[in-house]
Amino acid sequence: MLNYAHRGASAYRPENTLAAFDRAADLGAQYVELDVQRTADGVLVVLHDDTLLRTTNAASAFPDRPSWTVADFTVAELQTLDAGSWFDIRYGGEPIPTLAEVLDLLRRRDLGLLLEAKSPDKFPGIATQIADELLTQRWMFRAGAARLVVESFDADFIREFRTVLPRVTLGLLGSPEIAQLESWSRVADQINPHHLGLTQDYVDAIHEHGMTVNPWTADDPADIARLTALGVEGIITNTPDRI
């Protein structure tokens, strides 16, 4: 069973921060899941929401901005923000990391990466940009050592990424109809659905088409046990210590 720490060990540390990814390694995760977006000046950064309001102090730090959309801020502006205090004052000052900073941590902690391209339709060219940045990390591509999965809800992005980096493991997020699984099996290696309502028939159908199943986001031990009994290959969780 693969243990994917969702936004890092996000039950215990502020999501999508270096602190959360570091803790995921301590708690036995094999992979960290994270969300990639792009700044106004073209840098790949790690943050879930398309605005900064929920997880940073952007509204008080930049009160005069017309909006707090991530893509309207430069990386220098983002790096002045506090992405930790909203979760717990103990993590005050924890920054929004760049993808490059996270990749460096993953190499040091021997963690794999489940990279979600978040709303890639808003960021023209982001498939190639993500690929170029990943290719700087040769350790991720070592033969026999699967250290990288790229996933998205965006079907067009998955199809494009398949042509950009053909040998990287690709996951489609969501639950396509069983009738569509055959065609998806020509593009994707994983189908990663929400865990609620996942059935044995659906898991079996994905397996019959040669793909793996890695549902999200299961933290409750009863849910984890149910998914294990269904035969999923991995679980995306905020609590990697429970897998």
Active site residue 6: yes
Kindly state the smallest distance separating residue 207's Cβ from ligand G3P, in Å: 19
Binding residues among 51-110 for ligand G3P as defined by CB under 6 A:
none
- ∠ CA(62), CA(63), CA(68), 5° rounding? 65
Interaction between residue 154 and Ca ion (CB under 5 A): no
Q: Is 205 left (phi over 0), alpha (psi -120 to 50) or beta?
A: alpha
Binding residues among 4-63 for Ca ion as defined by CB under 5 A:
35
Is the Cβ–Cβ distance between 174 and 158 less than 8 Å?
no
Residue from 2, 3, 5, 6 touching ligand G3P (CB under 6 A): that is 6
- Compare residues 31 and 68 and give the one whose CB is closer to ligand G3P: 31
DSSP line for the chain: -EEEEETTTTTTS-TTSHHHHHHHHHTT-SEEEEEEEE-TTS-EEE-SSSBSTTTS-HHHHSTT-S--BGGGS-HHHHTTS-SSTTT-GGGTTPPPPBHHHHHHHHHHHT-EEEEEE-SGGGSTTHHHHHHHHHHT-GGGG-TT---EEEEES-HHHHHHHHHHSTTSEEEEES---GGGHHHHHTT-SEEE-BSTT--HHHHHHHHHTT-EE--B---SHHHHHHHHHHT-SEEEES-GGG-
- Using the contact rule CB under 5 A, the part of the chain among 81-89, 113-121, 135-143, 223-231 near Ca ion is 113-121
Phi, psi of 242 (to 5 degrees): -90, -5
Interaction between residue 116 and Ca ion (CB under 5 A): yes
- Compare residues 23 and 77 and give the one whose CB is closer to Ca ion: 23
> Of ligand G3P, Ca ion, none, which one sits near residue 65, judging by CB under 5 to 8 A according to partner kind?
none
Interaction between residue 202 and ligand G3P (CB under 6 A): no
Q: Which of 48, 194, 207, 209 is catalytic?
A: 48
Residue from 22, 35, 189, 223 touching ligand G3P (CB under 6 A): that is 35
Kindly state the smallest distance separating residue 214's Cβ from ligand G3P, in Å: 8
Kindly state the smallest distance separating residue 100's Cβ from ligand G3P, in Å: 21
- Compare residues 23 and 195 and give the one whose CB is closer to ligand G3P: 195
Active site residue 209: no
- Using the contact rule CB under 5 A, the part of the chain among 116-124, 134-142, 160-168, 174-182 near Ca ion is 116-124
> Of ligand G3P, Ca ion, none, which one sits near residue 236, judging by CB under 5 to 8 A according to partner kind?
ligand G3P
Site residues for Ca ion per CB under 5 A: 35, 116
By annotation, the residues acting in catalysis are: 6, 48
